[in-house]
Structure 1
Amino acid sequence: MVSSTATIATFAAVFVILWVAHSVGDHWVQTSVQSADKGQHDRNPGQSSHVGRLACTRHVIGLTLTKVLLLALAAVVLDLPLTIAGVTAGLALDAASHWWADRRSSLAWLAKVTGKTEFYNLGTGAHPFHPVTADGKPAGHLGTGAYALDQSFHVFFLFLAALLIAAL
């Protein structure tokens, strides 16, 4: 497949738009409740509390709507040659991958099977060198290994989504 300059430019524009929309949707649109609850799992096999799945679903809906709005705005302003099929396929892949990773146990599993558990635990009490104050109490910090792996996972799928959107 030979890509035209227009397709390459569309890919670049869409990737930037999705990255900006992701940052806004993941940090400003997501509520504190969604952030706190989206990783919850049913504690008892007989119980069916769906709290985590619903919180994650609500988060991904808000995130995807943010991406749709910014993509539509940029498409109109920049006259981007987007198709409904491309946008639908790209955003569906992105939403599904985001939901999978944000359930937390799945991303922790991926870190484990790829040998990244120590990095995943960086910045938490589970890491052998977790941050502490001079008194030995937990220290405040910006970010964790889990957060870094989460965001890089999402950016990888933004790349794939932009490829789909530009190519279809």
Structure 2
Amino acid sequence: MHDDDLIRAITAAVAFGVMLAGHYIGDHWVQTSGQAYGKGLDNHGCVRSAAMWHCAKHVASWTATTTVFLLAAAWWLRLPLKPGWVVAGILLNALTHFIADLRVPLIRLGRLLGRTGYIETVAVVRPAGATSTGPGTALFELDQAWHIGWLAVSALLIAGPPA
């Protein structure tokens, strides 16, 4: 392994780790309750434009959070980030997050890949009754897996191409 490859590997690992931390902060601390509920196209009585707006606001604040984590770590560790690759990784992350958080595309993909039973049976009972979204549900777990997978791809992009 050449020094440049090692630096890229370290950059990708750091980018993934700090963006994963930013992901959880952005998804569970920064996101408002209105955004969390309002962003799903699968909600009863959903108004598409309102859902898209809630989702866009969430993804904007979530992207800002993950970007701050990334840039703070890059500054602290003096990582050799190249702006074009950082922008590409952040945009990929934002786009894939937006798609999944509308829920309907994720549900359709899950069904296409044979996850229908999982999606329909793994639910939780909350004080207001059974729900199929939110922590503890199959849709939530598929959502988080999707996000973390794309975080990994984004981290590789951010590290830049092989020399």
Q: What TM-score, normalized to structure 2?
A: 0.85
| TM-align CA RMSD | 2.8
User: 1:138 Cα deviation (Å)?
Assistant: 4.6
Runs of 4+ in 1 over 4 A off after TM superposition: 41-44
User: 1:40 Cα deviation (Å)?
Assistant: 3.3
1:158: which partner in 2? 151
Relative to 1, partners in 2 of residues 1:43 and 1:122: Cα closer, same or farther, differing over 3 Å?
Answer: closer
1:127: which partner in 2? none
Question: Could you tell me the percent identity over the aligned residues?
Answer: 34
Greater alpha carbon shift after TM alignment, 141-150 vs 104-113: 141-150
1:149 aligns with 2:149: no
Q: Distance in 1 between matches of 2:99 and 2:138?
A: 18
Stretches of structure 2 that go unaligned for 5 or more consecutive residues are: none
1:105: which partner in 2? 104
Assess if the C-alpha contact under 8 Å between 2:82 and 2:160 holds in 1. Answer: no
Relative to 1, partners in 2 of residues 1:150 and 1:43: Cα closer, same or farther, differing over 3 Å?
Answer: closer
1:11: which partner in 2? 12
Q: Distance in 1 between matches of 2:41 and 2:146?
A: 20
User: 1:131 Cα deviation (Å)?
Assistant: 5.7
Assess if the C-alpha contact under 8 Å between 2:39 and 2:55 holds in 1. Answer: yes
Stretches of structure 1 that go unaligned for 5 or more consecutive residues are: 125-129
Q: Distance in 1 between matches of 2:122 and 2:43?
A: 26
User: 1:67 Cα deviation (Å)?
Assistant: 1.1
2:75: which partner in 1? 76
Assess if the C-alpha contact under 8 Å between 1:40 and 1:51 holds in 2. Answer: no
The one-letter amino acid of 1:155's match is I
User: 1:123 Cα deviation (Å)?
Assistant: 3.2
* Structure (1 or 2) with the larger CA radius of gyration: 1
User: 1:121 Cα deviation (Å)?
Assistant: 2.5
1:123: which partner in 2? 122
* Number of positions where the alignment pairs a residue of Structure 1 with one of Structure 2: 156
